[in-house]
Amino acid sequence: MSVPPGSVIVPDWLKSPEGKEHLAAILRKNKRKVFGLIERPVLPPQVASDTASYKVFVSGKSGVGKTALVAKLAGLEVPSTHHETIGIQTTVVYWPAKLRESGRAVIFRLQFWDCGEAALRKFDHILPACREKADAILFLFSFTDRSSFDDLPAQISRVVGDAGSLVRIVVGTKFDQFMHADVTERDVAEFQRTWHLPVFRAQSAAGSRQAGRRTPDAGTGLREVAPLLNGLAEHLWHQDQVAAGLIPAPLPSPEETGPC
């Protein structure tokens, strides 16, 4: 199910004075701070916020840009060349946001789990470990690789399995490589009509570096990653509200019952 953008989290809140105070906790000298597994942002007492922790599994074919996407979301250096991820790599991303209904500020602690396709195929325990206690799955495809897009239905079925209630979000990478695109906006629109899943778009590593030289947030990359991080946070918080019985549960979506 897709949650309407801005219905749960206040857009552009990080540009407000209150938002900038929270933003300062994840920045150092206009660059994103790198947090270890047991570290967290430190806020002044007057702006202290609750932390909501989630596990996010990043799924997709080899070469679609899983590691590059996670690096961008964390504010890390994006690899210029592709190397297959060996085993499982975890990365923690902290993202401040303001809830629309309550007006509360919350820091979302997102632990991304990324693993190489070769490791998934070779070791039977890798996929169960990535899915265990996961709150969300990002399904990646590349706009320059038609096969990765066509594989999405099979990938969703294979990865989700009997995992139960999970946030499911699709991310199209290398969106800026128009000259090499094999997937059209019409293809994406048709997929969304069939599967009713949110689809976000991400630039390639090269595109991000070029854009970074022109934008005010060149050192942080926040402008590029904000839509996806806000969207992920919205869907995760909405799922928690449904699980707690605070809002009605949505009707089963096609990815749970199969496309019509």
**What confidence tens digit (pLDDT) does each residue in 204-255 have?**
765 554 444 444 454 568 989 999 999 999 999 999 999 988 888 765 555 4
**What confidence tens digit (pLDDT) does each residue in 44-87 have?**
888 878 999 999 999 999 889 999 999 999 998 887 766 777 77
Average pLDDT, integer, range 28-41? 85
- Residue ranges of domains in the chain: 13-35+47-243
**What does pLDDT average to over the chain?**
86
Amino acid 220: pLDDT: 60
CA distance 1 to 196: 6
238 near 3, Cβ under 8 Å?
yes
Amino acid 212: pLDDT: 45
Amino acid 213: pLDDT: 45
Give the rounded percent of residues in the chain with a pLDDT score beyond 90: 59
Q: Which amino acid, residue 122?
A: K
Residues in Cβ contact with 182 at an 8 Å cutoff, skipping those fewer than 6 apart? 143, 144, 145, 146, 149
State how beta strands 105-115 and 199-201 pair: unpaired
Amino acid 134: pLDDT: 95
Average pLDDT, integer, range 164-171? 91
Amino acid 251: pLDDT: 58
Q: Is the pLDDT of residue 260 over 60?
A: no
* pTM for this entry: 0.88
**Model confidence band, residue 180 (pLDDT cutoffs 50, 70, 90):** confident
Q: Kindly report which listed range (37-41, 90-94, 135-139) carries the lowest average pLDDT score.
A: 37-41
- Where helices occur in the chain by DSSP H, the ranges are 17-23, 66-74, 117-122, 126-131, 146-150, 152-160, 185-195, 205-212, 222-243, 254-257
Q: Is the pLDDT of residue 259 over 70?
A: no
Q: Is the pLDDT of residue 88 over 90?
A: no
Average pLDDT, integer, range 88-108? 94
**Model confidence band, residue 92 (pLDDT cutoffs 50, 70, 90):** very high
CA distance 10 to 97: 7
Q: Architecture of domain 13-35+47-243 in CATH?
A: 3-Layer(aba) Sandwich (3.40)
Sign of the four-CA dihedral 154, 159, 161, 166: negative
